[in-house]
A and B are shown apart, each in its own frame.
Chain A
Amino acid sequence: MTARGLTREGLAGLAAELIGAGIRVVAPARAADGGVDYLEVTRFEECALGAEMPRRSLRSAFQPATEPLFAWNRTGGRLFLTPAEANGPQVVLGARPCDAAGAAILDKVMGWDYRDEFWFARREATTVLTVECAEPGPTCFCEAVGLAPDSDAGSDVLLRDAPGGYRAEAITPKGEAFMEAHARWFGEAPSAASEPARTRQAPLPLDAMRGWLAEHFEDDLWRDVALRCLGCGACTSICPTCHCFDIVDEPEGASAGTRRRNWDTCQAGIFTAHTSGHNPRADQTARCRQRVMHKFLVYPQRFGAVLCTGCGRCARACPAGVLLPEILETIAGRCRQAAPSGDLA
């Protein structure tokens, strides 16, 4: 693994070089209302690297809120399909470790059996430069789910805090190649990066919790959690690992149109409603349970990883104080109660 140094001036130069070369650069930046989002930037000065956590995760860099899958048109009595265009190269400058990790977790479902080319085309065309997290927020719990403020999962290059700039560590061959290709901005690696930040949470007993969830589809916990839930789905629209989507047709005139993929949410009743009116998840209790079950039982069972990076956004975004860390802690508590002496972690 290559480690080099990158000063703040070097980072600015690197960003300018990328933008100048026509590469799409996505970075935390202030939106019109002053909030921070991952946005395409046209100047390095727009980047808000030391700012608060972006409101939404990095999901949109790999799966936009809406994207065309293909277009159709009818000419001369025949129907033709035109696939959506491939994506050009993209560099994420200043991903959060929890967001980079989210993309890596989603590779599993996106590559499962049927390979989602839209997802992987963007993943492959994207180089992720992650900046280690200096200041975890009040609802952050990455260490509870096995990550850390300096996790390198899903990153191509990890930028660790160092005097005057960063210590840049290549994590993947793609990151290695990136640092090579832009070598003039990288200098000698600082001898030691400073001590990474910590959230100081005990790891959740995820295996035991999976067992609990498998046994407690019916439990008063779900009713209690769901009472205050308004079903707004804000938690799912900001999440780095939520990936549910809808597919819709949008005609443009009588003979042409586009089929698109749009983000969707398991918190909406219509998500599972049949045309007949029957709905397998008929109320918010079932939908709140589904969110936790999918993240901490179904996905780990199927793909060997929890569908959560502990970014804490859902707890911040919830208008009604439904807090995933609290729900997880409750479940962990019940597991500990059930096995007081055992090693649950």
Chain B
Amino acid sequence: MNIYQPHLMTIADVIDETPDTRTLRLSFQDPETAEAFRFQAGQFAEYSAFGAGECTFCIASPPTRPDYVECTFKAAGKVTRALRDMNPGDTVGLRGPYGNHFPLETMEGSSLVFVAGGIGLAPVRCVIWNVLDQRDRYKDVTIVYGARSVSDLVYKRELEDWAGRADVKLWQTVDPGGETPEWRGEVGFVPTVVEKAAPSSENAYAILCGPPIMIKLTMPALQKLGFPDSRIYTTLENRMKCGIGKCGRCNIGPVYVCKDGPVFTAEEISKLPPEF
């Protein structure tokens, strides 16, 4: 088995999330691979645009919906731009799933607080749908999601869906100045909205993902609400090439993000040197 050779996938659907962010829905070309492919929420993959190269993103769709794999990305570099320029029916590659995952099994019976900023909703969305697809296994579900502006919010249709559900408390926010006249959500930064939402930390876990500054400021907000560092989960995104612990790129101190992560607790992260 050539561990660097990706599975071939067909782009089944292309969803424009924001002017520069897209979601690709992918289906395996080989039925046996499709059948055998299993992953868990939080794992990532290496996606190929043949001719441009590979790029690392989380799997943004939940394992509870095994018929397809989705990834959401911002067109920024060579590979993401190539992926953005592709159309339904085109072939991309996928290696994975790689890395660890959110411990959903140990979170069963607990309340969950999801906090995401910008495109950071992608890995969190995978967990949210996983949880909502098995809703009876968890207690309260609170989602705080923010973006710079209304047009920067990703998964807009799903946000509407979550907003309409009685079993989800959704707080949406945009940075000051990013609102539109029609905007009915919050205006303010994510950490402030987390404090306002004030989800109970009792028998609860927090899962957060977003830009470094949001993570940095949300951690104290969660701690103030009583979440211990061992119950705050996030994902790290160091640059990777191989995804499987060989290429030497994603080390943070003793940790290989690709193998020991990408999911870490705040407690684990506090022990790492600041190289992420």
Give the docked Cα–Cα distance between A301 and B3 (Å): 25
B interface, over-half SS:
loop
Instruction: Given the known inter-chain contacts A83-B5, A114-B3, A115-B3, please indicate yes or no for A249 contacting B246, CB distance below 8 A.
Output: no
In residues 230-268 of chain B, which contact A (Cβ within 8 Å)? 237-239, 241-242, 244-249, 251-254, 256, 259
* Distance from B253 Cβ to chain A, minimum over Cβ atoms (Å): 7
Q: Which chain B residues lie closer than 8 Å to A214 at the CB level?
A: 254
Contact of B247 among A115, A217, A244, A280 (CB under 8 A): A244
Q: Which chain B residues lie closer than 8 Å to A113 at the CB level?
A: 244-245, 259
B51 touches A70 (CB 8 A): no
Give the docked Cα–Cα distance between A70 and B5 (Å): 7
Instruction: Given the known inter-chain contacts A81-B8, A117-B1, please indicate yes or no for A266 contacting B248, CB distance below 8 A.
Output: yes
Q: Using an 8 Å CB-CB cutoff, how does the interface string of A263-274 with B read, 1 for contact, 0 for none?
A: 010100001111
* Distance from A290 Cβ to chain B, minimum over Cβ atoms (Å): 7
Does B275 interact with chain A (Cβ within 8 Å)? yes
Give the docked Cα–Cα distance between A83 and B54 (Å): 17
Instruction: Given the known inter-chain contacts A69-B5, A293-B253, please indicate yes or no for A114 contacting B239, CB distance below 8 A.
Output: no
Closest A residue to B2 using CB positions: A83
B246 touches A301 (CB 8 A): no
Does A325 interact with chain B (Cβ within 8 Å)? no
A interface, over-half SS:
mixed
B246 touches A245 (CB 8 A): yes
Give the docked Cα–Cα distance between A83 and B5 (Å): 8
B51 touches A281 (CB 8 A): no
Does A162 interact with chain B (Cβ within 8 Å)? no
Q: Using an 8 Å CB-CB cutoff, how does the interface string of A233-276 with B read, 1 for contact, 0 for none?
A: 00000000001111111010000010101001010000111111
* Distance from A102 Cβ to chain B, minimum over Cβ atoms (Å): 15
Q: Which chain A residues lie closer than 8 Å to B2 at the CB level?
A: 69-70, 83-84, 117-118
B254 touches A302 (CB 8 A): yes
Does B197 interact with chain A (Cβ within 8 Å)? no
In residues 65-100 of chain B, which contact A (Cβ within 8 Å)? 76-77, 80, 91, 93
Instruction: Given the known inter-chain contacts A246-B241, A298-B251, please indicate yes or no for A110 contacting B8, CB distance below 8 A.
Output: no
Give the docked Cα–Cα distance between A301 and B255 (Å): 10
Give the number of residues in B that approach A within 8 Å (Cβ atoms).
39
* Distance from A281 Cβ to chain B, minimum over Cβ atoms (Å): 6
Closest A residue to B212 using CB positions: A278
Q: Which chain B residues lie closer than 8 Å to A114 at the CB level?
A: 3, 244-246
A247 touches B54 (CB 8 A): yes
* Distance from A229 Cβ to chain B, minimum over Cβ atoms (Å): 17
Closest B residue to A244 using CB positions: B248
Give the docked Cα–Cα distance between A203 and B241 (Å): 36
A251 touches B76 (CB 8 A): no
Q: Which chain B residues lie closer than 8 Å to A297 at the CB level?
A: 253-254
Q: Which chain A residues lie closer than 8 Å to B276 at the CB level?
A: 280
Contact of B238 among A70, A116, A280, A298 (CB under 8 A): A280
Give the docked Cα–Cα distance between A293 and B248 (Å): 12
Contact of B239 among A259, A272, A294 (CB under 8 A): A272
Instruction: Given the known inter-chain contacts A83-B5, A273-B239, A274-B239, please indicate yes or no for A249 contacting B244, CB distance below 8 A.
Output: no
B249 touches A244 (CB 8 A): yes
A70 touches B4 (CB 8 A): yes
B246 touches A81 (CB 8 A): no
Does A200 interact with chain B (Cβ within 8 Å)? no
B254 touches A301 (CB 8 A): yes
* Distance from A42 Cβ to chain B, minimum over Cβ atoms (Å): 31
Q: Which chain B residues lie closer than 8 Å to A116 at the CB level?
A: 3, 246
Chain A CB within 10 Å — which of B52, B248, B259 has the most? B248
* Distance from B28 Cβ to chain A, minimum over Cβ atoms (Å): 13
Give the docked Cα–Cα distance between A293 and B273 (Å): 12
Does A225 interact with chain B (Cβ within 8 Å)? no
B76 touches A276 (CB 8 A): yes
Chain A CB within 10 Å — which of B6, B50, B53, B275 has the most? B50
Give the docked Cα–Cα distance between A50 and B131 (Å): 67
B51 touches A69 (CB 8 A): no
* Distance from B75 Cβ to chain A, minimum over Cβ atoms (Å): 10
B77 touches A275 (CB 8 A): yes
Q: Which chain A residues lie closer than 8 Å to B76 at the CB level?
A: 275-276
Instruction: Given the known inter-chain contacts A69-B5, A79-B91, please indicate yes or no for A245 contacting B247, CB distance below 8 A.
Output: yes
Give the docked Cα–Cα distance between A302 and B256 (Å): 10
A217 touches B253 (CB 8 A): yes
Q: Which chain B residues lie closer than 8 Å to A294 at the CB level?
A: 248, 251
Q: Which chain A residues lie closer than 8 Å to B50 at the CB level?
A: 72, 79, 249, 257, 259
* Distance from B179 Cβ to chain A, minimum over Cβ atoms (Å): 25
Give the docked Cα–Cα distance between A266 and B239 (Å): 12
Give the docked Cα–Cα distance between A244 and B239 (Å): 13
B246 touches A217 (CB 8 A): no
* Distance from B119 Cβ to chain A, minimum over Cβ atoms (Å): 11
Can you add 4 more A-B contacts, CB < 8 Å, to A83-B2, A244-B247, A297-B253? Answer: A247-B53, A264-B241, A264-B248, A280-B238
